[in-house]
Amino acid sequence: MTAATADGPAPPPIVTALYLRTKTLHVEAERTGVIRDLLRGEATREGYVLLLRNLLPAYQALEQGLARHRGSPGLGSLVDYGLDRASAIEADLVALCGTHWSQSIPLLTAGDFYAKRIVKAAEGDGTRLIAHAYTRYLGDLSGGQILQRLLARSLDLQPSELSFYDFSRFPDLEALKADYRQALDNAGTLAADPQTVIEEGAIAFSLNIDLSCAVKAMLSSGPIAAVAEQ
């Protein structure tokens, strides 16, 4: 329960505020672009590979940005969870399309722009990274687990091609989500300008929508590369 202050009710925890600010965008993200196709079981392996390749720089930027702020009281606790996904995405790309994936699968403007925005968010005290950690990691721990099962069924992907969603080293995923959510809230209480973090969450979702649509548009323009045959 949120405590009241002399000036009225205290603001909600940062995770709640981010959820409320991005709720409509979240629904839009699920209904547009390649994400819509993935959730409906209508995506191709090529589309999934293109999405993964373009998410990778965002994760690299997020993980490098958080690592830079490892000494921060708030952000440092997020780093300690070890939720990094970049190496897992790289492993999946190798499994899906071979070791030369970086030469055969294009980095789209939308993917590059997304990563650069996260680099920008890491500037200063880095607290805007809270929004990107919320968007990416809590998403991976929640909807990502549903997506993993859909991909295994609709695209016949094997566990070695879905390590992006593998958090098996954590014995209790629900407990992990609750703990990480609390860590985000704790980091939010230390943010000098929480509203900036909340608005960064809206930007993060918008960038995801843009990327999803860009991937879909690229696919409609013709084949992009040879995906390894299974």
- Dihedral of alpha carbons 171, 175, 177, 182, sign: negative
Statement: residue 173 has pLDDT above 90 = yes
Average pLDDT, rounded, for the chain: 93
- The partner residues of 4 in beta bridges, in order of sequence, read 9
Statement: residue 225 has pLDDT above 80 = no
Average pLDDT over residues 21-41: 96
Q: Tens digit of pLDDT for each residue in 79-91?
A: 999 999 999 999 9
Residue 16: name the closest of 127, 115, 138 by CA. Answer: 138
Residues 6+ apart with CB under 8 A from 220: none
Average pLDDT over residues 172-199: 97
Token pair for residue 155?
A: 């695209």
Statement: residue 199 has pLDDT above 80 = yes
The rounded distance, in Å, linking the Cα atoms of 155 and 92 is: 14
Please provide the DSSP assignment of 108-156 as one string: PHHHHHHHHHHHHHTSTT-TTHHHHHIIIIIHHHTHHHHHHHHHHHHS-
Q: Tens digit of pLDDT for each residue in 122-150?
A: 999 999 999 999 999 999 999 999 999 99
Residues 6+ apart with CB under 8 A from 218: 50, 106, 108, 224
- Give the model's confidence band at 10: pLDDT under 50 very low, under 70 low, under 90 confident, else very high: confident
pLDDT of residue 141: 95
Domains in the chain, start-ordered, CATH in brackets?
12-220 (1.20.910.10)
Q: Could you tell me how far CA 24 lies from the centroid of its own chain? A: 17
pLDDT of residue 9: 76
Q: Model pTM? A: 0.92
Report the SS3 class of residue 4.
Answer: strand
Q: Indicate the range of 4-13, 14-23, 211-220 predicted with least confidence.
A: 4-13
